[in-house]
Amino acid sequence: MKKITLSILAIALTTGLWAQGVDRSIKPKPGPAPEIKLGKSESFTLPNGMRVFVVENHKLPTIAINIEFDIKPELEGDMIGYRDMMSELLLSGTKTRTKDKLNNEIDQMGANISISSDGMSGTGLKKYTEKIFDLMADIAMNTKITESEMDKTKKKTMSGLETQKNEPDAMVRNVSSVVNFGANHPYGEVTTEETVKKITLAQCEHYYKTYFRPNVAYMAIVGDITLAEVKPLIEKYFGKWEKATVPVTNYIVPAFSLSASTAKVTKVSFAPRTAAVQSVVSVTYPVNLLPGTPDVIKARVANTVLGGGSQGRLFLDLREKHAWTYGAYSSLREDVLGGSFSATVKCRNAVSDSAVGAILDEMKMMQTEKVSETALQNSITYLSGNFAIGLEDPKRVAQFAINIERYHMPKDYYQNYLKNLSAVTADDVMEMSKKYILPEKANIVVAGSKDDVANKLAHYSADGKIDYYDYAGKPIVATETSAAPAGITADEVYKKYITAMGGEKAYNSIKDIRINGTSEMQGMPLVITEIKKAPNMWKQSIEYTMGGKSMVAQKQVYNGTKGFQEAQGQKADITGDDLDEIIQGADIAGDLHSEKYGIKRTLKGMEDVNGGKAYVLNVVNGKGKKSVEYYDATSGLLLRKVQGEGEKMQVSDYSDIREVPGANGYKIPYKVSETAGGQTFNMTVKSVEVNKGIADTEFN
């Protein structure tokens, strides 16, 4: 051991002496890019038209199978969303296997099989190769979609859509899709609750039977396998898959016709977001960049120089120089149906317009300011590293094999990828920037506060106008805060609300109340129970069922003196501001006691809420906390309440407000929707009991 240590020390000393003669100020030149070895590749075509590629990789005893369908499907029309549902529907069972049996067989192998509307994949150990082929073939040919599974998937989809209604990233994504590609392109179709409701079992079955055909399928197998081993299995399990005529839909991207124009066509599209304190900004537009074409690699380098990482010009300008954001990035995506460019940033309201200007300026400089040799090499190194890491994923290598055939790419495209990447020059970057980085053609899409941000962006639009959209990309007339009619005060609005809810007599007649409601989280049904007892006791519990047994997920209690909460077996006292809010909420007639809790309301004006006019009241409680309340101008009922700001903002919407049976005219909202932290929580009241003599022990 001692001799080995001395040998290492000697080598270290010798290396140090040698290095002293090296000029470290001179950066070593990059060596020649290596040629990538992807493994031995062979291919064949089944009589039914399915093209198969086998890539040997004997490093691990595993296989990865990709099947990709070369399709241009019909537009989804008034049933947008059914293609996204295919990832679950196509795993709901087959003619020979129930959903549970299918899942059990996959789990027993420790394998993974996933499906989408245009492909499927499977991975697992080599010893299960035949079984994986068996299951994938059964799904590809014999899937049985049931009405019950479709209803479950629709319900889950609807729940997911709820979270998008005030979620800025989703709003920007949806609006960008619409303004970039239009309604007559699959990328311009946005799923909504209305379109999901219209989805039928017949349409889902039609899609599956029409487009899941072998003559438009490419299969790639990568792993510890040879052609001789795998070909008989593919013939056995996929040879009987029947081919059929697959229709092809032609799409038009209107923006592509503008590429030859020199006119400025920049537009500003704004999605108003309730009580937003920051904006999500995307400068985006479609690009006619096809996979495998000579421009792709050079265009990727140009995009990386602009905004591909922490060394990109956008990051260095918007974050490092101005401190407007935590990060600013861009992407340039090639696609056979229509690619896209986007530069994105999240920033405070006060600097949103400046951030847009900075992005556009950096895009313009890409066309006029040549990239330095250092920045160029950094970008090439970054992309080279990502490519090398990607080679560790067998599914990525399988995708390479399919891409070469599907997009008619040179057979050695990926073998020479690093060599071609390293050959990109500063002149190439500028050429690609002039061709694909086009600030004068951009759609500037923003989700944020209309009052604080929107009007400052109008000068970026070629026509000086701002187009407004809802969360799903549907054009809307922007809500304006207008003055309330003369003589109307906040006190009058609030008094009308008390009357609409039943009046003081109705409030004071309630001695105790139990509200039983239901909700759902991530597909799991929840039971929510809230009880109150005058003068100031309160309890709320949320329960779920597991294994036929009811379990308490969360419980909060205030017994008139102190409060506590329980969750996942942990119990803690409720204190501070949280306790103050619970004390106020425990007061059944709390709406009548604004002065007691130091609540002051001022009338801001009027806005449109849910298609009708509403009075907007700014509210400040005794602790200085601010909120905003929206009262229906006709009925007087509370429609919405916004509390907190930024990440802590919570939006509560109230609907189906009606009288509680036997409660002397007292009303409650039977439907409540709360959005916070990008998640939406919906509750529906199933039953209400009043004055039943709830015991104090309920609040122990």
According to DSSP, the residues that pair with 65 across neighbouring strands are 122, 221
Give the separation between CA 518 and CA 520, rounded to whole angstroms: 7
How are beta strands 119-125 and 51-56 bridged, if at all?
Answer: unpaired
Q: How much of the chain, in percent, has pLDDT values that exceed 90?
A: 77
* Among the ranges given (16-25, 348-357, 606-615, 656-665), the one the predictor scored with the smallest mean pLDDT: 16-25
| pLDDT (0 to 100) of residue 309 | 86
Work out whether strand 278-287 and strand 443-448 pair parallel, antiparallel, or are unpaired.
antiparallel
Other C-beta atoms within 10 Å of 458: how many?
14
Output the pLDDT for position 545. Answer: 87
d(CA 270, CA 471): 10
Note the Cα 163 to chain centre separation in Å. Answer: 10
pLDDT of 678 above 90: no
Cα–Cα nearest to 462, from 360, 340, 358: 360
Residue 625, both tokens: 């906390």
Rg over alpha carbons for the chain, rounded to the nearest Å, is 31
Burial 149-164 (b: 16+ CB within 10 A, else e): bbeebbeebbbbbbeb
Mean pLDDT for 533-554 is 90
CA-CA distance, 633 to 625, in Å (whole number)? Answer: 25
Same fold across 41-238 and 254-468 = yes
pLDDT reading at 13 higher than 60: no
Of the pLDDT bands very low, low, confident and very high (cuts 50, 70, 90), residue 259 is low
pLDDT tens digits for range 55-84? 998 989 999 999 999 999 999 999 999 999
3-state secondary structure of 21: coil
Report whether 102 contacts 110 (CB < 8 A): no
| pLDDT number for residue 15 | 34
Q: How long is the chain?
A: 700
To the question of domain 41-238 being in CATH 3.30.110.60, the answer is: no
- CA angle 69–72–78, rounded 5-degree value: 120
Residue type present at position 657: I
How far is Cα 131 from Cα 120, in angstroms, rounded to an integer? Answer: 15
Query: Cα torsion at 640, 645, 650, 655 (round to 10°)?
Result: 10
Which residues have a Cβ under 8 Å from the Cβ of 88 and sit 6 or more positions away?
A: 149, 153, 156
pLDDT on residue 133: 97
Compute φ and ψ for 7, nearest 5 degrees: -65, -45
Confidence of residue 676 (pLDDT cuts 50, 70, 90): confident
pLDDT at 116 over 50: yes
DSSP, collapsed to helix, strand or coil, labels residue 173 as: helix
User: What's the whole-number mean pLDDT along residues 279-304?
Assistant: 96
> Which pLDDT value is given to residue 6?
29
Once rounded to an integer, what is the mean pLDDT over residues 42-64? 94
Identify the CATH class of 254-468. alpha beta
pLDDT at 393: 84
Token duo for residue 286: 């479609």
Note the pLDDT of residue 262: 60
Residue 134: phi and psi, rounded to 5, are: -60, -50
The whole-number pLDDT of residue 318 equals 97
Superfamily holding 490-699: Lipoprotein localisation LolA/LolB/LppX (2.50.20.10)
Residues 6+ apart with CB under 8 A from 188: 177, 178, 180, 181, 182
| Beta-strand pair 62-69/112-116 | unpaired
Predicted pLDDT of residue 203:
97
Bridge partner list, 545: 550
Residue 18 pLDDT more than 50?
A: no
pLDDT band at 603 (very low <50, low <70, confident <90, very high): very high
Residue 397's pLDDT is what?
A: 85
Q: What is the pLDDT of residue 23?
A: 54
12 pLDDT higher than 60: no
Would you say residue 447 has pLDDT above 80?
yes
Instruction: Identify the residue with better confidence: 371 or 161.
Output: 371
Express each pLDDT in 614-630 by its tens digit: 999 999 999 899 999 99
364-382 tens-digit pLDDT: 999 999 999 999 999 999 9
Residue 337: what pLDDT?
Answer: 92
pLDDT at 599: 96
pLDDT at 684 exceeding the cut of 90:
yes
* pLDDT number for residue 257: 67
Helix axes 82-89, 201-211, angle to 10 degrees: 80
* Pairwise pLDDT comparison (581 vs 514), residue with the higher score: 514
pLDDT at position 17 over 50: no
| Domain chopping of the chain, boundaries | 41-238, 254-468, 490-699
Provide the 3-class DSSP secondary structure of residue 543: strand
Closest CA to 683 of 674, 692, 675: 674
> Could you tell me the pLDDT band of residue 646, with boundaries at 50, 70 and 90?
low
In 568-611, which ranges are E strands?
Answer: 570-574, 600-609
Q: Does residue 52 or residue 676 have the better pLDDT?
A: 52
Among 180, 366, 183, 174, residue whose Cα is nearest residue 285: 180
User: What does the mean pLDDT of the chain come to?
Assistant: 90
Angle (CA) 489-493-495 rounded to 5° is 115
Q: Could you tell me the pLDDT band of residue 542, with boundaries at 50, 70 and 90?
A: very high
- Would you list the DSSP string of 88-143? HHTTSBBSS-BHHHHHHHHHHHT-EEEEETTEEEEEEEGGGHHHHHHHHHHHHHHB
In 308-461, which ranges are E strands?
328-333, 339-348, 443-448
CA atoms in the 13 A half-sphere facing the CB of 324: 26
Rounded CA-CA distance 635/669 in Å is 13
Residue at token pair 């409060």: 563
Q: Which residues pair with 297 in a beta bridge?
A: none
Mean pLDDT of 488-515: 97
